[in-house]
Amino acid sequence: MSMNIPAENPFNYNLPVSPDMFYGRQPDCDKLCQGLTANKGDSYALIGGRRMGKTSLLEAIHRNLALGSERFPVFPLPLMLDLTGKGIHSDGEFFRCVLEDVKTSLSECLGMQVDIPELGIGQPPAPFLTRQLPQWDRWVMNRHGRRLRFILLLDECEQVACQDWAADLYGALRSLLVGSATRSNLKVVMVGSHGFL
C-alpha cells in the first residue's frame, strides 16, 4: 500500500529564501544593483512590513554584486551586516564591525593579506575612513582596473534607530556618502521595518 506524503513546504517564514527559491524580485534586484554600481551611484532604503522578503532581497543583491562584479563599471565589494544581535553600542563599534569585513573583503579581492589601521576608541569614524578609502581605491584600481565601490547592506536598521548614538552614526554615514573624497567609493542599502521609517 502506498501513501501520499505531502511535499514539505520549502519556505520558512523565519528565514530568507535560498537562492534557488528567490522568485519574482529579480528585476528589482537588478535595478538596485545597477543603481548601486552606476558611475555616480545611489544609496537606498528598503522599508516594509515584517516577513515581506526584505532580507531575501538584500541577500540577492549581495549575491549579484559578489558574483557578477565583472559586469559593473565599478568594482563592487558588498558588505552585509545584520544589526540584530550584533551587540553594537556606539557608532565606533558599528564602524569597527564594518572594518573587520573590509579587511576580509579587500584581502580576497586583492589576493593577498592586507593590513588596515584600526579605528581607535573615541576616534571619529568619518575622518578616519576619509583618509583610508582613497588608498583602498588605489589598491583595487591597480589590481582590477576599476574604481572601488564598497556597498554596505545593512539589515534590521530599526535596531539602531532607537539608540542614543544613532544620530552620530547617521551623521558619519552622511558625511561619507556626500563627501567629495568618499562618495564615489561608498553606497548604502538600509533595510528596516516600518519602525525604522
pLDDT tens track for 117-131: 888 888 899 999 999
Residue 172, pLDDT above cutoff 90: yes
CB 191 within 8 A of CB 157: yes
The CB-based long-range contact list for 96-103 (8 Å cut-off, 24+ gap) reads: 98/152, 102/77, 102/136, 102/150
Q: Which of 118, 123, 133, 116 minimizes the C-alpha distance to 177? A: 133
pLDDT in tens, 103-162: 999 999 999 998 888 888 888 999 999 999 999 999 999 999 999 999 999 988 888 888
